[in-house]
Amino acid sequence: MFWDHDDDKPREECGVIGVYGHPEASLLTALGLHALQHRGQEACGIATFDGEKFHNERHMGLVGENFGGDLHARLPGHSAIGHNRYSTQGKPALRNIQPIFADLASSGFAVAHNGNITNARALRRDLIEKGAIFQSTMDTEVVLQLVARSPKPLMRDRFQEALTYIEGGYALVGLTNKKLIGARDPIGLRPLVLGKIGEGWVLASETCALDIIGAEFVREIENGEVVIISKDGVESYFPFPRRPEAPCLFEYVYFARPDSVVQGRSVYEVRRRMGNQLARENPADVDVIVPVPDSGVPAAIGFSEASGVPFQLGIIRSHYVGRTFIQPTQSGRQTSISRKHSPNKAVLEGKRVLLVDDSIVRGNTSKRIVKMVRDAGAREVHLRSASPPIVHPDFYGIDMAAQSELIAANHSLEEMRDFLGVESLGFLSVPGLYAAIGVERNVEMPQFSDHCFTGCYPTRLVDHMRDESSKERQLSLLD
């Protein structure tokens, strides 16, 4: 798993979009991917079908750097799918960029997905033993291989059969010569929405992608649902036994864009209420509330509202600094970090400052920001996290540190406070997070996947359990 050790944040999951029945499908797809850029900045790709043949372009880097100008001439067609990538399975490489495409017996098939297939390595080994040849190391190709090997005559049935083999959290978009296909995992861990634009249809990870292209939101794809979009409209199928929905809480905490709507809830309003709740649970005697930009802003506003302490922009973030992991040396990475966040001394000097962030993962970036604020003249520095302590890793598409690297999993609150160098430290509680969303947590069957905070994983973790079993065997041999 690729992890940027100079950034505390959980890495983006990936974003997907599909357009059917529009003469400018590739342009709308590129624009939608631009709105979903926050979900993955490592690579991007678009596949289209022009009525006769498929076209597929995949590039390292951002959407705006690769998909502009003569895009419609390069990627013609009335149907398209696109993908923004941050690698969770498969290292950064051109062959691991989605959409992935192959010519099958019935037609060509392109597929892209957001999430993580938790039994992908087990399926991959089985497929290779049966003669399959893989062109990438990403889990998405397992879906392609399963579709290709299905004996069923209809692509709809082949796709649904492939889904019965895979486990984990996923939102998939697929493209054939006649259809746009969408699918969401049985408990709805990863998001997918349906929109309408003119006579055409759109599938996307978030509603913000619909907004930017002028599409009308129709509904969310349900957990466990497969939709087939063709000239006949939208058909819906449920190939799995129905299960209660349990979306990932991190969509509200961090991943979704603030202007998106998830399950009928404004992400911005939920994050603001998280700040309200945080202020009630963890008050502080301070002079000013300062967000850690940009993701801490809504919660900091909520904290200010509930506490009556003024909200100020005490840290200014530059949006024009490249990602720190591409720097070749530690000193280069450190320089980029200092360029990314700058203290606003007029707000900080001589003040008792409360920093509000959306989450704390490893703590290294938080520690540097605290020092920066103190060096700018703050008299006291306090820190609050608008999410509960992250004590367990994710296996469903969030590229997060291993449990041994999670600060809250290995240290007491007092130890974390000392490490971060703050006068006080506080986290939002799990019940408080649910309250901000507007529900009371069902202990027996949580309404959301909150495994990073509770360790209650909603599915089997086949590949992870095999890894753990292998480690145990190796240790026993050493003994």
User: Residue 474 corresponds to which tokens in the numbers above?
Assistant: 């190796």
**Which amino acids are annotated as binding site for Mg(2+), given as ranges?**
295, 357-358
SS3 of 272-297: HHHHHHHHHHCCCCCCEEEECCCCCH
Helix axes 430-437, 267-281, angle to 10 degrees: 140
Do residues 20 and 79 lie in contact, with contact meaning Cβ atoms separated by under 8 Å? yes
Task: Report how far apart, in Å, the C-alpha atoms of 96 and of each of 85, 113, 245, 328 are.
Answer: 9, 12, 30, 22
User: Residue 83 corresponds to which tokens in the numbers above?
Assistant: 């993908």
Fill in the DSSP letter of residue 256.
Answer: S
Q: Which residues are catalytic?
A: 14
Tell me the torsion sign for CA atoms 167, 171, 175, 179: positive
Give phi and psi for 237, each to the nearest 5.
Answer: -135, 150
User: Residue 270 corresponds to which tokens in the numbers above?
Assistant: 């939920």
**Which amino acids are annotated as binding site, given as ranges?**
295, 357-358
Strand 193-197 versus strand 180-184 pairing type: unpaired
User: Residue 461 corresponds to which tokens in the numbers above?
Assistant: 């973790």
Do residues 227 and 181 lie in contact, with contact meaning Cβ atoms separated by under 8 Å? yes
CA separation for the pair 188, 181 (Å, rounded): 16
Nearest CA-CA partner of 10 in 318, 315, 399? 399
